[in-house]
Amino acid sequence: MASPYIETALCRHGDSLTMSFDVYEIRQQFPILSRTVHNKPLVYLDNAATTQKPQVVIDALVDYYSNYNSNVHRGAHSLADEATRKYEGARDTIAEFIQANNRREVIWTTGTTESINIVAHGLAQMLTCDDQVLVTEMEHHANLVTWQQACKASGASLVIAPIDDDGELIIDQYLALINNNTRLAALPHASNALGSLNPIKELTTEIKKRSDNSALVLIDGAQGIAHSLVNVQEIGCDFYAFSSHKLYGPTGIGVLWGKEQLLESWPVWQTGGEMIAEVTYTDAKWNTLPYRLEAGTPNIAGVIGFGAAVSWYAKLDLKAVLAHEEKVLSYATQLAADFTGLTVIGSAAKKVPVLSFVMDRGHPADIGFILDRQGVAIRTGHHCAEPLMNRLNIPGTARASFALYNTCEEVDALFNALKKVKQMLA
Amino acid sequence: MALPSTNDIIEDLEFFDDWEERYKYIIELGEDMPKLPAPLHTQERLVKGCQSNVWIDAKITEGVFYFEVESDAIIVRGLLALVMAAYDQKTAAQIHAFDIDQYFKALDLEQHISPTRGNGLRAIVAKIQALAASQL
């Protein structure tokens, strides 16, 4: 079907073929992308919530359960050796992918939320009432409620840095909030609701300088990891938290990366098996990194699947991947600008591929429902960022979020489906 | 305008074979339903859904329940009209006896009332059922 938007399109369909990244070839690797919803081809634009999985990841999970399912680190048999090798191999893969100093800095968690909780739980034990924790108005609840509760428990103050109406952090105001009492600054690599991409490297440098190195820096990388080339050493932060399932891996597994000297003495999170060195009835000594922060039998299949996802992803021409995503976003942004009755929420100069919007007529829930009937999957609501929605004076947004496998044809499908929303809710 | 009876709604909806027509009908039912005045959109009347909010005001006169409902979403408002057709101006015994799940199934809309849906519809139904139960 010819696109009515093609004349004004920034995105010439088929461009990707000339680059070292072929979106049509990539799509073949994702079995779910060929299914239908309500008898329409699936147009999956809810990637900021979770990405789909390539066949290699699905195969890795099946291979583990079919061929070497076993507990790690403790069995005296071949299967356990094999499982442990693959499991620890995944740690190496991820350490290398984010340029960690060494593998001991990569802690397996259940996801970004748990990663942040480990840091907040430990920090709460060190905070005093003179201390401040700095967050921003654009936080996901995972990077807000955690610090809010740590401050409540310790008597420290939670300081909220403002954003402007475009959804961009107001840098000079942010920097003015940093002082010698700032114990930790937690900020998102990118906003899940608006897409705004923060200059985390520059901010980290400034946070360290303006706090006389008293402030730790934690980056909530949930929305950043799949849309930028993350090098934790170059960023200079102390902690970087992210989830596997937003990077083409399985759910229920994520990473807390932290500087080794911090993690070495960080208060333990959960206690139990695996994380101990020595136990008596009355006392226990903790294991070394990374195990001291990983209690109990881990999500072995999840780790192996995540390792497979990152191995697969890292082999792509990532610059070309990011350029493709940027192209799809700018095409969608262009179509949105031309669509009467639709307002984009979040127009920061630098964004991850997220297009949040509201319409003159119709609640986001209505938009989501009518799009779903046409096979287009988006997210609607407050996106786990209720204070941000209040700050913007909106009940929520409809959010289309893109991944490397989305095409400009799918953007056309989204806007064709939005015409029906307008027509039905007129 | 008074809402059609639940049986009329079931018959009307059977008549349409495409989803657009069905939902347009539901949207219109919602539009025809009297609005809950804005000053009554209070915290006590609010039932919070993950995706959209609904408000309910309930009165009981001589054993009969009178409800006024509102939603910030157009389709949810239509779905609320379907619920009102079943429950408004009914006694506690009538509300208790009415099989809402069967009704939504007959309408082929059971997905909207499933517990996984974040639109507050299920919560409104539970609230009405609890109100009725307290009067039995």
> Could you give all domains of chain B from N- to C-terminal order, each with its CATH number?
6-134 (3.90.1010.10)
Q: How many C-beta atoms surround the C-beta of residue A14 within 10 A? A: 12
| Residue among B19, B50, B72 minimizing CB distance to A363 | B72
CATH architecture of the region A58-314? 3-Layer(aba) Sandwich (3.40)
Cβ atoms A287, A270 nearer than 8 A: no
* pLDDT given for residue A71 in this prediction: 95
Q: How many C-beta atoms surround the C-beta of residue A20 within 10 A? A: 11
- Residue limits of CATH 3.40.640.10 in chain A: 58-314
The verdict on whether omega for the bond into residue A199 sits within 30 degrees of 0, i.e. cis, is no
Mean pLDDT, residues A307-318 taken together: 98
| Residue among B23, B24, B73 minimizing CB distance to A363 | B73
For residue B19, the chain A residue with the least C-alpha distance is A373
Task: Identify all chain B residues contacting A381, using CB atoms and an 8 Å cutoff.
Answer: 50-52, 118
Judged by CB atoms closer than 8 Å, whether chains meet at A381 and B118 is answered as yes
Contact residues for A114 (Cβ-Cβ < 8 A; gap 6+):
A254, A256
What mean pLDDT, rounded, does chain A reach?
A: 94
Q: Which amino acid is at A48?
A: A
For residue B77, the chain A residue with the least C-alpha distance is A366
What mean pLDDT, rounded, does chain B reach?
A: 89
* pLDDT given for residue A6 in this prediction: 36
- Strand order across the A379-381 sheet: A342-345, A354-359, A397-401, A379-381
Does the pLDDT value for residue A2 go beyond 70? no
Is the ipTM value over 0.85, yes or no? yes
Task: Identify all chain A residues contacting B73, using CB atoms and an 8 Å cutoff.
Answer: 362-366
CA–CA min distance B119, chain A (Å): 8
* pLDDT given for residue B3 in this prediction: 86
* pLDDT given for residue B48 in this prediction: 75
Q: Which residues of A are catalytic?
A: 384
* pLDDT given for residue A94 in this prediction: 98
Identify the CATH assignment for A6-34+317-424 out of 3.90.1150.10, 2.40.50.100, 3.40.190.10, 2.60.120.10. 3.90.1150.10
- Residue limits of CATH 3.90.1150.10 in chain A: 6-34+317-424
Judged by CB atoms closer than 8 Å, whether chains meet at B52 and A363 is answered as yes
Residue among A400, A419, A420 at smallest CA distance from A410 = A400
Residue pairs spanning A and B at CB distance below 8 A: 47
For residue B27, the chain A residue with the least C-alpha distance is A425
Is the dihedral angle over the CA atoms A280, A296, A100, A301 positive or is it negative?
A: positive
What's CA B36's distance to the chain center, in Å? 13
Cβ atoms A400, A378 nearer than 8 A: yes
Strand, helix or coil at A196? strand
- Restricting to A residues 355-394, those with a Cβ less than 8 Å away from any Cβ of B are 361-366, 368-370, 373, 380-381
Q: Tens digits of per-residue pLDDT, B82-124?
A: 999 999 999 999 999 999 999 999 998 887 777 665 667 888 8
* pLDDT given for residue A407 in this prediction: 98
Q: Tens digits of per-residue pLDDT, A191-242?
A: 999 999 999 999 999 999 999 999 999 999 999 999 999 999 999 999 999 9
Task: Identify all chain B residues contacting A362, using CB atoms and an 8 Å cutoff.
Answer: 73-74
- What single string gives the DSSP state of each residue in A80-110? HHHHHHHHHHHHHHHHHHTT-SSGGGEEEES
